[in-house]
Chains A and B, each alone.
Chain A
């Protein structure tokens, strides 16, 4: 019962703030609501006893990426975006696509519901600490993809530095 209340609270918070992100005209307010949405998602992770995912979400998205977002937004002239028209003339096409996607999702869930076996959830007390689990899997089974992803990020970082610097 309490679980459900907590879940619906975080879910509603995430959905409402996600909506506000796109409807607010002030970019800083949008950024604040994006932070709220990310934190609400982190709350859902925490409720599922995925503590490691929760804290990674908070540190990386809310604490890292969003700080840089806000940092950049503060340097932008806000008056321009406030006076811009937010909707363009193809809104009906967007609506149509959204409806199609929604119908597809509902159809997929409705059709797959019977064929999709959901395992019994393990009791929360019997779970291993998720940090150790994630670490073990990352550094044993998925060692190579993990390292390749790191190199990819390194390449992207060096590329950004080279492009940003006038004289190397």
Chain B
């Protein structure tokens, strides 16, 4: 009997997880778009989408229906086969990368011993979709967008890779699960052991996902829409889905490597156990806001929808609270790891995405030469110094017996000093360029 249960678990759990990823990611992408529009509206003192559903909550579904019904135009001179398959490559790569990530200790398609390399490597294949789509459109804007995208990805992949190497040195493994367990053993998330590495990864991941301020491949003031200029309807939506999937993937990598994955803040200390109640309290807060806003909606049906949303949040709060209230040792109490793990992981991913949006609406777009200089002359040297600094800290800690609290801050200060030197050298060069420009 036990063997049968194990067999069913070993086959069906990965299959169900994979299906959930494929089914939920498009919906999640739609709601990330809505979140982005709402955040943008908030930062620009507007309301954002308000018409479809209460507070625009059904806007993603309306958008999806619109995109599915739009005519799919293929340019006459395009390379039809490649034009047809290019968006699929991007989407497939993003979804495959998701499959190795762990959303909570229970939800993972497969824990590979090369886990992190798999996510990074497969995710990088998505660039072929962009490059081939841009080329096959047979349009100058598309081709320039694709070229920029390829150059940008190749440049920033190095910096991101070296930042990941730094965190991997700390964890000593490539398996996603073991990386998070290593952070549990250290009693500290790696963002505090290697803040410079986290900074490099944030910048490089924005550049890799082609988002502002590094969104030159689709800079609308220069290239119409970059590599997807000629795409319309469903294929265009696939490119969008791929972009948002990639955002979720890089956010998940950052969460896993630097922000403790599914771990609660202060996971090791009993004094902070009250944080276990935070998920339920947050959900109840959201539900309360829904009920508070519901009577103020203009249309009857919108009031009902908002009330239903509030009720479902109460349900989620109940599910999250149930393992805490159940007697210790029961089946329900053991569900806490999976449920709360997923909650904390998703919360960190959403906060990381919010950081992306915040940066997007605060910084002006970089020029292409500035982008290249930042990548090659600042981030890549800094990331190499960062790896050497973490190596030094590990030697001081493990071989010479220094404590964490002296070794890691010391090497972080050293790395920051190098960063300052690199930055001031770059600024000097900028000034020289500016003078040359004025004379010319």
Q: Which residues of A contact B120 (CB under 8 A)?
A: 59
Choose among A55, A68, A70, A130 the residue that contacts B128 (Cβ–Cβ < 8 A): A70
Are B151 and A32 in touch, CB under 8 angstroms?
A: no
Residues of A within 8 Å of B151, CB to CB, are 71
Given A28-B135, A59-B120: A74 and B146 interface contact (C-beta under 8 Å): yes
* Minimum CB distance partner of B120 in chain A: A59
Cross-chain contact A74 with B135 (CB below 8 angstroms): yes
Measured between beta carbons, the chain B residues less than 8 angstroms from A62 are 125
A81 within 8 A of B: no
Q: Specify which of B79, B82, B125, B143 is in contact with A63 (CB 8 Å cutoff).
A: B125
A32 touches B132 (CB 8 A): yes
Residues on B with C-beta less than 8 A from A29 are 82
Are A51 and B114 in contact, CB atoms less than 8 angstroms apart?
yes
Indicate with 1 or 0, residue by residue over B138-156, a CB within 8 angstroms of chain A CB atoms: 0000010011001101100
Contact A58/B146 with A51-B113, A67-B127, A74-B131 known, Cβ cut-off 8 Å? no
Bitwise, B109-142 to A at CB < 8 A (1) or not (0) is 0001110011011101101100110111000000
* Interface hits, A44-83 → B, CB 8 Å: 51-52, 54-55, 58-59, 62-64, 66-68, 70-71, 74-75
Contact B114 A67 (CB under 8 A): no
By the criterion CB–CB under 8 Å, are B124 and A59 in contact?
Answer: yes
Q: Check A131–B174 contact: CB distance below 8 A.
A: yes
Complex-state Cα separation, A103 to B38, whole angstroms: 69
Q: Could you say which of B79, B135, B154 contacts A67, with CB atoms under 8 Å apart?
A: B154
Take A28-B79, A59-B124, A74-B146 as given contacts and tell me if A67 and B153 are in contact as well, using a CB distance cutoff of 8 Å. Answer: yes
Smallest CB-CB separation from A26: which chain B residue? B79
Chain B residues whose CB sits within 8 angstroms of the CB of A64 once the complex forms: 154
CB atoms of A59 and B146 under 8 A apart? no
Cα separation A130 to B132 with both chains bound (whole Å): 34
Size of interface on A: residues with Cβ below 8 Å to B: 24
A20–B82 Cα distance when bound, in Å, is: 15
Q: Which residue of A32, A75, A131 contacts B113 across the interface (Cβ within 8 Å)? A: A131
Q: A residues 127-155 with Cβ under 8 Å of B?
A: 129-131
Q: How many residues of B contact A (CB 8 A)?
A: 27
Complex-state Cα separation, A22 to B79, whole angstroms: 19
Question: In the assembled complex, how far is the CB of residue B15 from the closest CB belonging to chain A, in whole angstroms?
Answer: 16
Q: Give bound CA distance, A67 to B121, whole Å.
A: 13
Chain B residues lying within 8 Å of A32, measured Cβ to Cβ, are 82, 132
Identify the closest chain B residue to A63 (Cβ).
Answer: B124
Is A40 in the interface zone, CB < 8 Å from B? Answer: no
Residue A35 at the chain B interface, CB threshold 8 Å = yes
A55: chain B residues within 8 A (beta carbon): 114, 117-118, 121
A74 and B128 in contact, given A68-B154, A131-B113 (Cβ under 8 angstroms): no
Q: Which of A26, A58, A74, A75 contacts B125 (CB 8 A)?
A: A58
Q: Verify B113–A74 contact, CB threshold 8 A.
A: no
Known A32-B82, A67-B153, A70-B131; judge A59-B143 contact (CB<8 A): no
How far is the CB of A27 from the nearest CB of chain B, in Å? 11
Most buried by B among A26, A59, A63: A63
B168 CB to closest chain A CB (Å) equals 11
With beta carbons under 8 angstroms apart, the residue of B121, B143, B153, B174 that contacts A58 is: B121
Give bound CA distance, A26 to B82, whole Å. Answer: 12
CB of A74 within 8 A of CB of B147, answer: yes
Q: Is the CB of B124 within 8 A of A70?
A: no
* Distance to closest chain B CB from A125 (angstroms): 12
Which residues of A from 1 to 54 have beta carbons under 8 Å from B? 26, 28-29, 32, 35, 51-52, 54
| Assembled-state Cα–Cα distance A73/B407 (Å) | 48
Expressed in whole angstroms, the Cα–Cα distance for A146 and B177 within the complex equals 30
Find residues 86-130 in chain A having any chain B CB closer than 8 Å to their own CB: 129-130
**Which of B117, B121, B134, B136 has most chain A Cβ within 10 Å?**
B121
Across the interface, which residues of B come within 8 angstroms of A131, CB to CB?
A: 113-114, 117, 174
CB-CB < 8 A to B134: which residues of A?
74
User: Using Cβ atoms and an 8 Å threshold, which residues of chain A touch B143?
Assistant: 74
CB contact under 8 A between A67 and B113, given known A28-B79, A28-B82, A131-B174: no
Q: Are A70 and B132 in contact (CB under 8 A)?
A: yes
Q: Which residues of A contact B114 (CB under 8 A)?
A: 51-52, 54-55, 131
Once bound together, how far apart are the Cα atoms of A28 and B137, in whole Å? Answer: 13
CB-CB under 8 A from A74, the residues of chain B are: 131, 134-135, 143, 146-147
Closest B residue to A28 by CB, please name it: B135
Per the bound structure, the CA–CA distance linking A71 and B128 in Å amounts to: 10
* A59 shortest CB reach to chain B, Å: 4
Write out the residue numbers on chain A whose beta carbons fall within 8 Å of the beta carbon of B122: 58
| Distance from A113 Cβ to chain B, minimum over Cβ atoms (Å) | 34
Q: Which residues of B contact A52 (CB under 8 A)?
A: 114, 117
Which among B117, B118, B147 is the interface contact of A71 at CB below 8 angstroms? Answer: B147
Residues of A within 8 A of B147 (CB): 71, 74-75
CA distance A63 to B131 in the complex (A): 12
Beta-carbon nearest neighbor of B158 in chain A: A64
Query: What B residues does A59 contact at CB under 8 A?
Result: 117, 120-121, 124
Pick 5 A–B contacts, CB within 8 A, sort by A: A51-B114, A63-B121, A70-B135, A71-B151, A130-B113
Given A54-B114, A71-B131, 12 more A-B residue pairs with CB atoms under 8 Å apart are A28-B82, A28-B136, A29-B82, A32-B132, A51-B114, A59-B121, A67-B131, A67-B150, A67-B153, A71-B154, A75-B147, A130-B113
Q: Which residues of B contact A (CB under 8 A)?
A: 79, 82, 112-114, 117-118, 120-122, 124-125, 127-128, 131-132, 134-136, 143, 146-147, 150-151, 153-154, 174
